[in-house]
Amino acid sequence: QVRTHDDLTLYTYSDYTLKMYLHNAIKDKKISLPADADKDLLKGLSGQQVIFTKSGQRQWKELKNDHYNDCLKLCVFCTWVNPL
């Protein structure tokens, strides 16, 4: 619970795990995008890729102004927390 608001619940999640799920769900067509999806949305989602750091760790490549992906990630997270 959020200390200042008893009626709110605080959730934490792994951004990496959620991003992997979203990336795979789009690739595997478990999440479909509308035919008239905005070019910026498609560009942001198609540019997503995992890269390896110099130390050998996997991380997501930073994309400039990738706000659509973050919004879609949170929408997916909301369905996990409160499924329809």
Q: DSSP labels for 50-72?
A: EEE-TTS-EEEPP-TT-HHHHHH
Any residues with CB less than 8 A from the CB of 53 and at least 6 apart, and which? 59
CA dist 25 and 2 (Å) reads 31
pTM of the model: 0.68
In order along its 84 residues, the chain shows pLDDT tens digits of 567 888 878 888 888 889 889 888 888 888 888 889 888 788 777 777 788 889 998 888 777 767 778 888 888 898 888 766
What is the DSSP-derived secondary structure letter of residue 18?
Answer: H
What is d(CA 43, CA 5) in angstroms, rounded to the nearest whole number? 38
What are the tokens at 40? 């910026």
